[in-house]
DNA sequence: AATATATCCAACCGCCTTAGC
DNA sequence: TGCTAAGGCGGTTGGATATAT
C-alpha cells in the first residue's frame, strides 16, 4: 500500500493552507458534506489531495473544535488516559470533546512529557522515575537484557505494556494477572467493589482493562444503565487531581478527593460530587466547547448570528449579557452531560423506539472503555455524529438556500454561504487572528 | 541588533484496516 | 480470495515564532 494514490499526482499543493483554500473547503463541506474525501478537492476546486483536505477539516476547520489552551483538567485527563491507553491519541481525543488527536499528541510531546519528568514520573510507564531507575540498575546487575521495565524513552514500548496488548499469546496469559512489567499489586477489578475499595489505592492493569472493557466490549446503552453498580477502582495516579506544590514543583495529593475509574478506566470522577449531584460535571461538554458565544440549545437555534450550519441543532447563541465562558466548568451553563443526564437520555429520556433506533445508529466505539464514560461520551459522540452524518445527507446546492437534513429526515433551511470571516467570528477567533497576521487579511 | 537555540504545531508520511468489487 | 481505493492512525518533519546568548 504505502502512499496514497492521490499523492502521486503532480501539481498538488502541499504545506500550509491559505485562507482561500480554507474557505473553499469550508464552503464545500458546509454545502455538501465531505462524502468521499478523494473527490472533495476536485469538487471544491482545490489543488490538494483528499487526505490533506480531510486532515485540514478534522484538525482545523471542523466547527466543533475547541480552540485555545488546554485547561488543567484537560491536561490531567490526558495524562490519566495516557496511563491507560498509551499513545492511542485518537482514543484519548475521543474523550476530550473538541480536541483533536493531533493537538493532544503535540501537547503531549511538547509539554506533558516534560512536566511529568519534572515531577519525577516516567511519561512512558507513568511510574516514578526512581522506581524505573532502580529496576534498570537491578537488571544491569543481573545482566538481563533490557527488554522491559526500564528506560524513559518512548522507544521502549514494552515498558508500557502496549506491546503485550498486541501480542495475544502474552495477552491471554496475563489476563487478570500481572504482566512482567506491572509489578505493583493489582487487585482484579471484580474485587474492587465500590466503597469497599476506598481505602486502597489500586493499580490500573492496562492489559486487563483494555481486554475486558476495551477491544471486544460492545456495551449497549441499556447495558450501561444497568451498570450502575459496576465495579470501581480508585485512581492511583497522583497527577489526576493533584496540585503542584510551589515549593518543590512536585505534585501533592493532599486534600484531593478520591477519583474513581469505572471498570474500564476512562475518565475518573469524584465519587462524592458526581454521584451526589446530577449537575456535577462528571463528564461534561465544556462551556467553552463552541467558542464563547454559544450555549447548548434544546433544538434549533439559528438566527442572525447563527453558528455554522452544523451547529444549529444543538447550539444557540447565548443569551445577551452572558459572558463568554472563562473556564471549562459547564455545570452552570446549559446542558450537562454528566452521568445522570446521560443515563436519562438512554433510559428514560427517550422512548423505547427511539432507544432502539439510537442503538442501531450508534456504532459503539470499541474504545469506550468505561461504562460511565461510554454513556456520557456516547451522548456527546452522538451529537457529533449527527453533524457528521448530516453532512453526507446534504441536498445538492440547487436546493433553495441549501437544506440540511437531520438524522431524522427533517430539513432546515441553511445559509447558502458561510464565509471564512463568519466562521472565524464564531468558532476559532484566535486562529483566524493568527491567520490574519500570517496572511495579512481575510476576505 | 544579530545570531543561535528552543519550542510549538500544522501538515506530511507511511503503515494498517476496512470496504467494495 | 485477492486486489484496490479510501479512511484512519501514530510518528515524524519542517516552518514559524519565541527566547536566550
Whether residue A415 has pLDDT greater than 50: no
What pLDDT, in 10s, does the model give residues A10-47? 568 888 899 999 999 998 998 888 888 888 998 899 98
Q: Mean of the pLDDT values across residues A182-198?
A: 30
Q: Mean of the pLDDT values across residues A302-317?
A: 29
- Strand B bases with any atom < 7 A from protein Cβ: 7-17
| Range 12-41, chain A: CB under 7 Å to any strand B atom | 13-17
Nucleotide with the nearest C1' to A388 CA: C7
Whether residue A437 has pLDDT greater than 80: no
- The more confidently predicted of residues A19 and A288 is A19
Q: Mean of the pLDDT values across residues A278-293?
A: 30
Whether residue A135 has pLDDT greater than 70: yes
Nucleotide with the nearest C1' to A162 CA: C10
Residue A162, phi then psi, degrees to nearest 5: -60, -40
Helix then strand then coil, in percent of chain A rounded to 5, is 45, 5, 50
Protein CA at A41 to nucleotide C1' at B6, angstroms: 36
Whether residue A265 has pLDDT greater than 50: no
* Least confident span in A71-85, A118-132, A177-191, A259-273: A177-191
Burial label for A172, CB within 10 Å (0-12, 13-18, 19+), is: exposed
Strand C contacts (Cβ < 7 A) comprise A 1, 4-6, 15-16, 36-38, 50-51, 54, 87-91, 101-102, 105-106, 109, 154, 437-438
Nucleotide with the nearest C1' to A51 CA: C7
Task: Give, in order, the Cα–Cα distances in Å from A234 to each of A29, A203, A239, A252, A270.
Answer: 44, 8, 13, 17, 10
Q: Mean of the pLDDT values across residues A373-398?
A: 37
Write out the three cell numbers for A204. Answer: 490500573
Q: Mean of the pLDDT values across residues A174-200?
A: 30
Structure confidence at residue A125 as a pLDDT band (50, 70, 90): confident
Look at residue A136 in the predicted model and tell me its pLDDT.
67
Q: Mean of the pLDDT values across residues A343-351?
A: 28
Protein CA at A229 to nucleotide C1' at B20, angstroms: 43
| Range 104-163, chain A: CB under 7 Å to any strand B atom | 105-107, 109-111
Map residue A58 onto helix, strand or coil: helix
What pLDDT, in 10s, does the model give residues A211-230? 333 333 333 322 322 232 22
End-to-end CA distance of chain A: 40
What pLDDT, in 10s, does the model give residues A146-156? 333 333 333 33
Look at residue A56 in the predicted model and tell me its pLDDT.
92
Nearest residue to C9 via alpha carbon and C1': A90
Map residue A24 onto helix, strand or coil: helix
Q: Which single residue is written with the C-alpha cell 449579557?
A: A321
Amino acid at each position: 500500500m504505502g502512499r496514497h494514490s492521490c499523492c502521486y499526482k503532480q501539481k498538488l499543493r502541499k504545506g500550509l493552507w491559505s485562507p482561500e483554500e480554507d474557505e473553499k473547503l469550508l464552503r464545500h463541506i458546509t454545502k455538501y458534506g465531505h462524502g468521499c474525501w478523494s473527490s472533495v478537492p476536485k469538487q471544491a476546486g482545490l489543488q490538494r489531495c483528499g487526505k490533506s483536505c480531510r486532515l485540514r477539516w478534522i484538525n482545523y476547520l471542523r466547527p466543533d473544535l475547541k480552540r485555545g489552551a488546554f485547561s488543567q483538567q484537560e491536561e490531567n485527563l490526558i495524562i490519566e488516559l495516557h496511563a491507560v491507553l498509551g499513545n492511542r491519541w485518537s482514543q484519548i481525543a475521543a474523550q476530550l470533546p473538541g480536541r483533536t488527536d493531533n493537538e493532544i499528541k503535540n501537547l503531549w510531546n511538547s509539554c506533558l512529557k516534560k512536566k511529568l519528568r519534572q515531577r519525577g514520573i516516567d511519561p512512558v510507564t507513568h511510574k516514578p522515575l526512581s522506581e524505573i531507575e532502580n529496576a534498570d540498575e537491578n537488571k544491569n546487575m543481573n545482566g538481563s537484557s533490557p527488554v522491559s521495565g526500564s528506560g524513559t524513552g518512548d522507544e521502549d514500548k514494552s515498558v508500557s505494556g502496549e506491546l503485550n496488548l498486541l501480542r495475544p499469546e502474552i495477552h491471554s496469559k496475563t489476563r487478570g494477572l500481572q504482566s512482567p512489567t506491572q509489578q505493583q499489586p493489582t487487585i482484579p477489578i471484580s474485587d474492587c467493589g465500590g466503597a469497599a475499595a476506598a481505602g486502597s489505592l489500586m493499580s490500573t492493569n492496562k492489559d486487563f482493562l483494555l481486554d475486558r472493557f476495551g477491544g471486544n466490549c460492545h456495551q449497549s446503552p441499556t447495558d450501561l444503565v444497568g451498570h450502575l453498580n459496576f465495579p470501581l477502582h480508585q485512581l492511583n495516579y497522583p497527577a489526576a487531581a493533584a496540585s503542584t506544590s510551589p515549593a518543590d514543583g512536585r505534585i501533592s495529593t493532599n486534600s484531593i478527593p478520591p477519583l474513581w475509574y469505572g471498570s474500564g478506566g476512562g475518565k475518573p470522577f469524584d465519587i462524592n460530587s458526581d454521584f451526589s449531584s446530577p449537575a456535577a460535571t462528571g463528564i461534561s461538554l465544556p462551556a467553552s466547547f463552541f467558542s464563547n458565544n454559544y450555549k447548548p440549545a434544546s433544538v434549533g437555534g439559528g438566527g442572525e448570528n447563527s453558528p455554522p450550519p452544523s451547529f444549529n441543532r444543538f447550539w444557540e447563541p447565548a443569551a445577551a449579557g452572558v459572558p463568554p465562558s472563562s473556564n471549562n466548568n459547564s455545570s452552570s451553563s446549559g446542558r450537562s452531560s454528566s452521568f445522570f443526564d446521560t443515563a436519562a437520555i438512554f433510559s428514560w429520556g427517550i422512548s423505547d423506539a427511539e432507544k432502539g433506533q439510537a442503538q442501531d445508529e450508534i456504532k459503539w466505539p470499541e474504545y469506550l472503555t468505561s461504562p460511565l464514560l461510554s454513556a456520557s461520551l456516547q451522548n456527546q459522540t452522538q451529537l457529533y455524529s449527527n453533524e457528521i452524518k448530516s453532512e453526507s445527507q446534504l441536498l445538492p446546492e440547487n436546493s433553495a438556500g441549501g437544506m440540511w437534513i437531520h438524522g431524522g429526515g427533517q430539513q432546515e433551511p441553511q445559509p447558502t454561504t458561510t464565509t471564512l470571516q463568519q466562521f472565524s467570528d464564531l468558532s476559532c477567533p484566535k486562529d483566524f487572528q493568527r491567520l490574519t497576521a500570517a496572511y495579512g487579511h481575510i476576505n
